[in-house]
Amino acid sequence: MAKGKSWVCPHCNRPVIIRDSDINNVRDSYFLPVNSQEYVLDMTITICPSESCGKETIELYKFLYDKDEGIYNPIYNKIIEPEANIKIFNCSTIPDVILEDYKEAKLIQNLSPKASATLARRCLQSMIRDFHGITGKRTLHQEIEAIEDRIDPEMYKAIMALKSIGNIGAHPEHDINLIIDVSPEEAYQLVNLIEMLIDDWYVARARQQERVRAITAMNEQKQQERKTPET
């Protein structure tokens, strides 16, 4: 959680600005002899600056220390209070805005399923624009139609459903007597779909590029060996 940034508190569901004094951070490491690996645990406590709330959100990160590279690879990120499991994708090409919307959608899925569905919908729209390069459409509906031939029919239906349910939070019904709610279970399904799409699109593409690069590199090395006369 970055300081000085707008953040939606998972307790009161209000957007708040986090100051330095709202964040406490504890970090410690331990060594596991059985596999000779060093791990780091990072606990961040964010206290909601809203006077009527003031509750704490406790986040735990676990990292594996890579001695050769000198870097910390994230293993998981858990929101201990209020409880949520945030998936870590280990892929550098996913835009931060998408990861932030995903994380917030997950965090508030039980407290405010409607707001969670709205965030999941916004996340979907960002992904269609960024990953598929769709521009110049008037509505999310049209943006989804523009990628229909790139995804399988079942996934297309699921994405359209995410859009429609997310709409309930984004544009409340005109007739205020008609109340359509989003249940925590539905919000859970939508956030799950977002996780699946991040995996299927960004993570899969990065893996494929890595494999392709490995083959090209292998060939270059072979060609080099052919040029080198044997001694």
Binding of Zn ion by 58 (CB under 5 A): no
Binding of Zn ion by 48 (CB under 5 A): yes
Question: Which residues between 145 and 174 bind Zn ion (CB under 5 A)?
Answer: none
Q: Which CB sits closer to Zn ion, 11 or 62?
A: 11
Beta carbon of residue 114, minimum distance to Zn ion (angstroms, whole number): 17
- Rounded CA-CA distance 2/6 in Å is 9
- Rounded CA-CA distance 164/83 in Å is 27
Binding of Zn ion by 47 (CB under 5 A): no
**What residue type is assigned to position 61 of the chain?**
Y
DSSP assignment letter at 55: -
User: Which one of the spans 12-20, 95-103, 119-127, 193-201 is the region binding Zn ion (CB under 5 A)?
Assistant: 12-20
Beta carbon of residue 84, minimum distance to Zn ion (angstroms, whole number): 15
Q: Which CB sits closer to Zn ion, 14 or 157?
A: 14
Give the rounded distance of the alpha carbon of 92 from its chain centre: 12
**What residue type is assigned to position 161 of the chain?**
A
CA 47, 50, 54, 59 torsion: positive or negative?
Answer: negative
Beta carbon of residue 57, minimum distance to Zn ion (angstroms, whole number): 8
Give the rounded distance of the alpha carbon of 65 from its chain centre: 22
- Rounded CA-CA distance 154/159 in Å is 9
Residue of 9, 107, 193, 194 interacting with Zn ion (CB under 5 A)? 9
Q: Which CB sits closer to Zn ion, 12 or 146?
A: 12
Give the residues lining the site for Zn ion (CB under 5 A).
Answer: 9, 11-12, 48, 50, 53
